[in-house]
Amino acid sequence: MRAKNFGSGLVSLGLEPSPRSFVGIYSQNCPEWILAEQGAYCYSMVIVPLYDTLGPDACAYIIQQAEIGIVVCEDDAKCNLLLDKAPKCLRKLITMKEIRPATNQRAKNRGIEMLRFEEVERLGAAKNNKEVV
């Protein structure tokens, strides 16, 4: 249910339930990685994994080429690496762990909205509960 709620939350954030919707994931393997992946698959979205070994330039290039608007990001350090080279198409970062206020402000200055993983799940859960009623 958590995965479906997360996927529904992505739809609430403006992604189309379509194989033309790409979601980046920049994280080591963890439960949230799988929840994000399965949630996206519930709505026919495509997952684009980003890895530390690629480096920030390659990650920015992939985000730009795939026109990824939302990236699920593990932590503050990875968010900052993405913010250093953020292409204009990147509009939202969903964080799995707490981030520093300075990182949040940095994202805001670049026009990128920061959301917590749990917030996206709650958005989807609220939407799913309304659909059931």
Residue 78: closest CA among 45, 61, 54, 111: 54
The answer to whether the CB of 26 falls within 8 A of the CB of 80 is: no
pLDDT digits (tens, 9 = 90+) for 111-133: 999 999 999 999 999 988 775 43
Using DSSP's 3-state secondary structure scheme, residue 92 falls into strand
The whole-model pTM stands at 0.93
- Residue 20: give its domain's CATH number: 3.40.50.980
User: Running DSSP on this structure, what letter comes out for residue 53?
Assistant: G
Report the alpha-carbon distance of residue 74 to residue 78 in Å, rounded. 7
pLDDT digits (tens, 9 = 90+) for 44-80: 999 999 998 988 899 999 999 999 999 999 999 999 9
Structure tokens at 61: 């290039």
Per the structure, the count of domains in the chain is: 1
- Residue 10, domain extent: 2-132
Only one residue has tokens 């709505």, namely 43
